[in-house]
Amino acid sequence: MREIQMVDLKAQYEKLRTEIDAAIKSVLTSTAFIKGPEVKFFEEELQKYLNAGHVISCANGTDALQIAMMALGLNPGDEVITTNFTFVSTVEVVALLGLKLVLVDPDPCNYNISIEGIRKAISPRTKAIVPVHLFGQCADMESIMTLAKKHGLFVIEDAAQATGTDYFFSDGTSKKAGTIGDIGTTSFFPSKNLACYGDGGAMFTNDDLLAKKLKSIANHGQKVKYHHDYIGVNSRLDTIQAAILSVKLKHLSQFNSARRSVADFYDKAFAGCSPVILPERVSYSSHIFHQYTIRVKDGKRDALKSFLESKGIPTIIYYPGPLHFQEAYRFLGYREDDFPVTTALCKEVLSLPMHPDMEQDQLDYIVLNVLRFFKKQ
Ligand SMILES: *Cc1c(COP(=O)(O)O)cnc(C)c1O
């Protein structure tokens, strides 16, 4: 059996080697390392795939969030509502820009920001909501957009874990994650569903003026070289990474459906195992399983993790500590017990190996050992 990995970057590279090597070589030969034609080509391909108005690439997913907030003209003191159960990027950027962070608990079953929580958190100073489409499944965007419209708020979707996820509206139409709010952002970090071989990110918008502003801010605030209209940043996607991403994008749908098959297998295998709570699949979103994250009841999560580790099965805890517990964010002044759902999830969640190249013998072995652990208890 091949060694089990959380994400098998080697297996994926081996599969696409000829195409990837040719793409990289062509950039090396052209030496157009910054803003080469491959960058524009990739942006156009991704724009078509997502059916987005505009795609603007940048250096990483954290920058994408920062540039989005800068482009929307958020000012120090403006309140931004986001989930407490996510990667640190959103809260980091909000803090860096001097905005006021307002955290909200997630839904305990699908892990995405609670709509009731958002409703309670909205104040006269609220300017934006940042839903994160966690683990590959969309937050309840229809409810979020309704709330945003009612209160005149911007919506920035963090789609770093959901490139390719479909959101289904109640009228039967659908849109890709990240193309519903004012701006969507994503990351091409090597472990993401659509990933490059280093750092990369992008922003999506359907607003022509906003697109120009995002593009300009990402490039030192200039539209014309050496003319600076905005205070900007230096955040570009390297040409080599863009060339790699265009190759990978062609396979994204197939890779995402391979992940779904792995999830289907896990779901079936653990269905009768009562200490394991399966990740909920909501009706309004497809799921591309960036992570397959179970909850382990009865305080057995850490023991299961160690047991699997001893059998050569890696697992990861996304996320081990609520953001409001982190040293850097103590200044927000939250009390330890302000977010009971996040705190409980941090003690129960466990993400199992999940990637498009998992083999049946690996899946059988993982399932066998999870079930064996609970039989012994
Ligand atoms: C990965 C990730 C980011 C940050 O992306 P980087 O490219 O690493 O900066 C932001 N938000 C979420 C939810 C992520 O998973």
- Residue 163 Cα, ligand 1 centroid: separation in angstroms? 12
Position 325 confidence tier, pLDDT thresholds 50, 70, 90: confident
Residue nearest to atom 5 of ligand 1 (CA): 61
| Ligand 1 contact, 89 CB (< 6 A) | yes
Structure tokens at 78: 């403006």
Residue ranges of the domains in the chain?
A: 9-104+112-249, 252-376
- Residue 67 Cα, ligand 1 centroid: separation in angstroms? 14
| Ligand 1 contact, 182 CB (< 6 A) | no
| Ligand 1 contact, 353 CB (< 6 A) | no
Model pLDDT, residue 34: 96
- Whole-number average pLDDT of the chain: 97
Please say if the pLDDT value at position 363 is more than 90. yes
Please say if the pLDDT value at position 376 is more than 80. no
Residue 58 φ then ψ, to 5°: -155, -170
Determine the residue type at 13: Y
Q: Which of 91, 158, 236 to mutate to test the pocket of ligand 1 (most atoms within 8 A of CB)?
A: 158
Smallest Cα–Cα separation from 99: which of 71, 80, 73? 80
Considering the four listed CATH numbers 3.10.150.10, 3.90.1580.10, 3.90.1150.60, 3.40.640.10, the one that applies to the domain covering 9-104+112-249 is 3.40.640.10
Q: How far is CA 269 from CA 129, 148, 180, 229, 273, in A?
A: 37, 40, 35, 57, 8
- Residue 361 Cα, ligand 1 centroid: separation in angstroms? 31
- Residue 171 Cα, ligand 1 centroid: separation in angstroms? 31
Model pLDDT, residue 189: 98
pLDDT (tens digit per residue) in 139-190:
999 999 999 999 999 999 999 999 999 999 999 999 999 999 999 999 999 9
Smallest Cα–Cα separation from 342: which of 316, 326, 324, 315? 324
| Ligand 1 contact, 193 CB (< 6 A) | no
| Ligand 1 contact, 157 CB (< 6 A) | no
Residues 6 or more apart whose Cβ sits within 8 Å of residue 267 = 278
Residue 177 φ then ψ, to 5°: -50, 135
Model pLDDT, residue 140: 98
Residue 189 CA, closest ligand 1 atom number = 7
Model pLDDT, residue 70: 97
| Ligand 1 contact, 85 CB (< 6 A) | no
What length is written for the chain? 377
Model pLDDT, residue 220: 95
Residues 6 or more apart whose Cβ sits within 8 Å of residue 43 = 55, 56, 57, 202, 242
Model pLDDT, residue 164: 98
Residue 64 CA, closest ligand 1 atom number = 9
Residue 129 φ then ψ, to 5°: -115, 135
| Ligand 1 contact, 61 CB (< 6 A) | yes
Structure tokens at 283: 């009706």
pLDDT (tens digit per residue) in 92-126:
999 999 999 999 999 999 999 999 999 999 999 99
| Ligand 1 contact, 291 CB (< 6 A) | no
| Ligand 1 contact, 112 CB (< 6 A) | no
CATH number of this structure's domain 252-376? 3.90.1150.10
Structure tokens at 87: 């990667």
Question: How large is the average pLDDT for residues 29-47?
Answer: 97
pLDDT (tens digit per residue) in 58-102:
999 999 999 999 999 999 999 999 999 999 999 999 999 999 999
- Residue 157 Cα, ligand 1 centroid: separation in angstroms? 12
Model pLDDT, residue 336: 83
Residues 6 or more apart whose Cβ sits within 8 Å of residue 33 = 27, 238, 239, 240
pLDDT (tens digit per residue) in 198-228:
999 999 999 999 999 999 999 999 988 888 9
Q: What is the pTM of this model?
A: 0.97
